[in-house]
Structure 1
Amino acid sequence: MQARRRATHAASPHTPLTRACRAGDAPCTGAAPSAANAFIGSIAVDPKDGTLYLGTGVGLFRVQRRGGEAVRIAGRLETSDGAGSVSSNLVVRAARPGVLLASGHPEEGTLPENLGLIRSTDGGRSWTAVAQLGQADYHLLELAGGRIVAVRADEPDVLVSSDGGKAFERRTPPAPPVDLAADPRDGSRLVVTTEQGGFTSSNEGRSWRPRDATPGGLLAWAAPDRLYRADRRGEVTVSADGGATWSRHGAIASAPNELAVGRDGTLYASVAGGEVRSSGDGGATGGAT
């Protein structure tokens, strides 16, 4: 996945993954993270209590409260095609309270290299295969309006599923997506950022409309009238009309790697060093989580 947005914030204490999990700690397994490798490429926010699930190259981490300890989760996936542990290198999204949908690669065992879509109903402690095990690796993954919207690694098409990921319909945007977002209440409304600018669709990607020439950028759609974008400099803009127009809203202290939003409207951005920044006013102000 990729990163997004920003939020101007005063300096404050932070809890990077490097300090939350070390080899030998009771809740941790595997190698100790470091500032160099604790890249947070995926953030999922549980809609019930705001628990954060952080997908990194050194594992899946859970943070149950702001400023709390990041606990590494090592789950297990058993299928007819192999079994093994699942933790690092996951793109993860919260489908419902305690229910996660993810894609990525196994950590060890006899599983295929690409996990397709997998689901956990216990916060990542165990997983089941949903579809395309051994076939697909989704680097962009969004859930909205009963749909799953995804982009495979190294492919330009947007894929849309209305049956939980068992089957996808292929849509082709004008340029390969850097990031994508779907209206949380109407999954037929899509926005993609690309190197050629931003594009919107009101019909599940069957047709696209160019909007602005801003290259790249990360997206988080909080509500139908509140879509956030963070550019590579960390500048945060907001759109009230689904990506047609944008206004400056705030800034993140450094370039983001991932952008996400909680049900309460809190905006989260991961930055270098395994740190997550949060803002309760959509990026206008904020601090470390």
Structure 2
Amino acid sequence: MPLPPASRTRRYAVLSAAAAALLALAGCTPATSPPAGTTATSGAAGSVMPSSHVHGLAVSGESSQVLLATHDGLFDVTTVPARKIGETNDLMGFTPGPSDGVFYASGHPGPGSDLPNPMGLIKSSDGGKTWEQLSRQGESDFHALAATKSGIVAFDGILRTSPDGKVWDTVAANFAPAVLAGHPDSNTVLATTPEGIQRSTDGGTTWQPLANGPVIQFAAFAHPAEAVGVEPDGTVHYSADAGETWTKKGRIDAEVMAIASIKGEDGRPWVWAATPDGVVVSTDGGMTFRPITAD
């Protein structure tokens, strides 16, 4: 599905981490899928799902790719069958960087990989084909990652911030985020928890709980000032002020594993959601959803 022209200024939008990230930091296992170049099976309504373990969803405003970061590696689901990108690694944490084709990830190495376990923070500058080791190899399995204007925010059981992905500061926080959502052109970060949203406006250094907001499980930025969120029951919310206030929209009638959002040409956000049966998309600001179509 082609992306609207206005979305190209955003490059990639993503939500990294799956729902289980909240309390399952030690519960993941190494990837076991076939090597790069293999394909995946078709899902419902012409959609495709390479793996039942989806940890991140990214949408490119430049290439129109819809990418899934999974237990079995990175997949492009804009083709049928889905196309594997790069080697097989368990991408437990995943987020795009400030330019198209730049990704940060974490998790566990797959079969034949020479990466340490856990992988620490790794970076790709070629769309996920190859990865370089940045820091905390053998130490951190970041299940939640977000890129901001000032750097990286990550959670491996401890909330951390880094200006470059190499040197880290520990953040005093009394919550464990299931998901971290940020935008590379902003220092506002949202953290989802069972008690509600935590919000930072300084790149993850300090946090405040959002009073009277919805309990959102997944969140993503469509624009520095616009965010979308999904409750555990699939109810979709929209924020026009970077997560300070929320308006209820539609509902996703399936289990949601990850979401991403980009601002559409009509001014409303487009929203993608990974479900067990495939990826669905909304082009009306989260009111209605339909399966994506692939080439």
TM bracket, shorter-chain basis: 0.7 to 0.9
Q: Which residue of 1 aligns with 2:126?
A: 122
What's the offset of the Cα at 1:218? 0.6
Corresponding letter in the other structure for 2:159: V
* Contact 2:217–2:229 under 8 Å retained in 1: yes
1:201-239 CA distance string (max 9 Å, x none): 223344332223644511001113311110111000111
Give me the whole-angstrom Cα distance separating, in 2, the residues matched to 1:177 and 1:227.
17
Q: Which residue of 2 aligns with 1:2?
A: 18
What's the offset of the Cα at 1:160? 1.5
Superposed, 1:274-285 pairs within 5 Å as 275-285=278-288
1:19-67 CA distance string (max 9 Å, x none): xxx989x9417x979979523221122342231221122332113x4x6
Do residues 202 (structure 1) and 215 (structure 2) align? no
| Bigger CA radius of gyration | 1
Superposed, 1:153-164 pairs within 5 Å as 155=157, 157-163=158-164
Give me the whole-angstrom Cα distance separating, in 2, the residues matched to 1:23 and 1:147.
33
Q: Which residue of 1 aligns with 2:84?
A: 72
What SS is found at the alignment partner of 2:123? Answer: strand
Unaligned residue ranges in structure 2 (runs of 5+): 1-16, 21-32, 44-48
Q: Which has the higher contact order (CA 8 A, sep 6+)?
A: 1
Give me the whole-angstrom Cα distance separating, in 1, the residues matched to 2:127 and 2:108.
18
Q: Which residue of 2 aligns with 1:168?
A: 168
1:109-149 CA distance string (max 9 Å, x none): 34321111112222222221111211111111111214111
What's the offset of the Cα at 1:3? 4.8
Judged with a 3 Å threshold, the aligned counterparts in structure 2 of structure 1 residues 54 and 240 are, in CA distance, closer, same or farther, namely same
Judged with a 3 Å threshold, the aligned counterparts in structure 2 of structure 1 residues 263 and 127 are, in CA distance, closer, same or farther, namely farther
Q: Which residue of 2 aligns with 1:56?
A: 70
Corresponding letter in the other structure for 2:241: D
Give me the whole-angstrom Cα distance separating, in 1, the residues matched to 2:110 and 2:189.
32
Corresponding letter in the other structure for 2:281: S
Superposed, 1:14-163 pairs within 5 Å as 27-28=37-38, 38-63=52-77, 65=78, 68-75=80-87, 86-95=88-97, 96-109=99-112, 110-152=114-156, 155=157, 157-163=158-164
Corresponding letter in the other structure for 1:260: A
1:237-277 CA distance string (max 9 Å, x none): 1112222221101111212111112365431111123x111
Judged with a 3 Å threshold, the aligned counterparts in structure 2 of structure 1 residues 60 and 149 are, in CA distance, closer, same or farther, namely same
Q: Which residue of 2 aligns with 1:79?
A: none
Judged with a 3 Å threshold, the aligned counterparts in structure 2 of structure 1 residues 203 and 97 are, in CA distance, closer, same or farther, namely closer
What SS is found at the alignment partner of 1:259? Answer: strand
Judged with a 3 Å threshold, the aligned counterparts in structure 2 of structure 1 residues 36 and 23 are, in CA distance, closer, same or farther, namely closer
Unaligned residue ranges in structure 1 (runs of 5+): 5-21, 76-85
The alignment of Structure 1 onto Structure 2 pairs a total of residues equal to 252
Identity level (%): 30
Q: Which residue of 2 aligns with 1:235?
A: 235
What's the offset of the Cα at 1:190? 2.0
Corresponding letter in the other structure for 2:181: A
What SS is found at the alignment partner of 1:112? Answer: coil
* TM-score normalised by structure 2 residue count: 0.75
Give me the whole-angstrom Cα distance separating, in 2, the residues matched to 1:247 and 1:216.
12
Which structure features the higher share of strand residues?
A: 1
Deviates more, 1:212-221 or 1:253-262: 212-221
* Contact 2:55–2:94 under 8 Å retained in 1: no
Judged with a 3 Å threshold, the aligned counterparts in structure 2 of structure 1 residues 72 and 248 are, in CA distance, closer, same or farther, namely same
Q: Which residue of 2 aligns with 1:182?
A: 182
Q: Which residue of 2 aligns with 1:244?
A: 244
